[in-house]
Chain A
């Protein structure tokens, strides 16, 4: 009986989560629809004047994307916790930090990437010039990743808690504020025609930090929730 290696176990778990997500299509599209709707709120609330919108576009896109990604966060471990699969993952003999990383990665693929794909549409609607679009997408790619890896800790801590989704937002949002600061700044600089390399590099650094440290905190959170 040959036991499964790390990589293969990770690949299987990733494939499983992706398969499960795509059998529930509606759940994958909901954050994207929310993203589109929230961005529509701002021109309605502020003004349709493109010059004005362009000034605040960076902030709007980022806040809307953050909130949309946050919506999907509570589902990362929820169903596994409720049907007992999470327990089996803890008992599987694979390192829990690795499984947490894979789960967060799957979550990012399913909830974050669609937002990144939708972002050019959203940015264009807020009068963001085409030259700034790549920065929008890259910054959101990193930002949604940070949210998935950091948010996984919150998702793990609030398992089984009543009204956990509100609590989850309360816990995770302060931790994502640095990413918001640098991400929005990067987009803003791109809109103004400057190079956004500085903030993007810092954002990338935060991404790497959350990717490497997040899973350990997540695995501690999951073990606590098992008790």
Chain B
């Protein structure tokens, strides 16, 4: 993969199986975000390919997208919509969901009191939790998370780690990039170093 003039990502090969957490580690600038975007299908790889259930995602784009949830650096929230509305619209485009389901997830993430507040007045940590609610509600089997713990306090980090643990325990997969060491209850993440 090339980004402009820089040759980022050379000979990278990753396999992920159900129930696994893969931790992509490495210093800044080594291409962690690029790699995750390639895995999510947002960037095409110049050589090689990304496969899902044995087939390249290029040809199975819609099926792959239906089973994958991506969390990038941005929270993907509209500042002028309330927390509830944000989830209602962004999830609604993918699958049916009703009010109580959204409320339950907001509660689980500890932001139920932000339900009817526009996203722009929430703190950075609350917005990250709202973004994570979206990931949870999508009902995808593969989670691709880029620096999910940004802006979170200690309780938040523990909460998110727990959610990831529950997800893979139920047969899901998670690939994430994180600076700090990862502590997921119930499983040991496999580490992939980029340099």
Binding site for B on A (CB under 8 A): 1-4, 8-9, 12-13, 15-16, 19-20, 23-24, 79, 82-85, 87-95, 226-227
Residues of B within 8 Å of A12, CB to CB, are: 89, 92-93
Q: Interface residue tally of chain B, by bracket? A: 20 to 34
Binding site for A on B (CB under 8 A): 40-44, 62, 65-66, 68, 70, 72-81, 85, 89-90, 92-96, 139
Chain B residues with CB under 8 A of A79 = 78
Chain B interface, >50% SS class: loop
List the 5 closest pairs (A to B, CB-CB), nearest first: A84-B74, A84-B76, A93-B65, A16-B89, A93-B66
Please determine whether B94 and A4 come into contact, CB atoms closer than 8 angstroms.
yes
Tell me, rounded to whole Å, the shortest Cβ–Cβ distance linking A35 to chain B.
25
- Which residue of B is nearest A83, CB measured? B74
Expressed in whole angstroms, the minimum distance between the Cβ of A132 and any Cβ of chain B is 40
Docked complex Cα distance between A45 and B85 (Å): 48
CA distance A91 to B94 in the complex (A): 9
Whether A2 contacts B96 in the complex (CB less than 8 A), given A83-B76, A91-B68, A91-B70, comes out as yes
Question: Residue A23 contacts which of B74, B76, B80, B92 (CB distance < 8 angstroms)?
Answer: B80
Query: What are 27 inter-chain pairs, A to B, with CB distance below 8 A?
Result: A3-B66, A3-B95, A4-B92, A4-B94, A8-B92, A13-B93, A16-B78, A16-B81, A16-B85, A16-B89, A19-B85, A20-B81, A82-B74, A83-B74, A83-B76, A83-B77, A84-B72, A84-B75, A84-B76, A84-B77, A85-B90, A87-B42, A87-B72, A88-B90, A89-B93, A90-B42, A227-B43
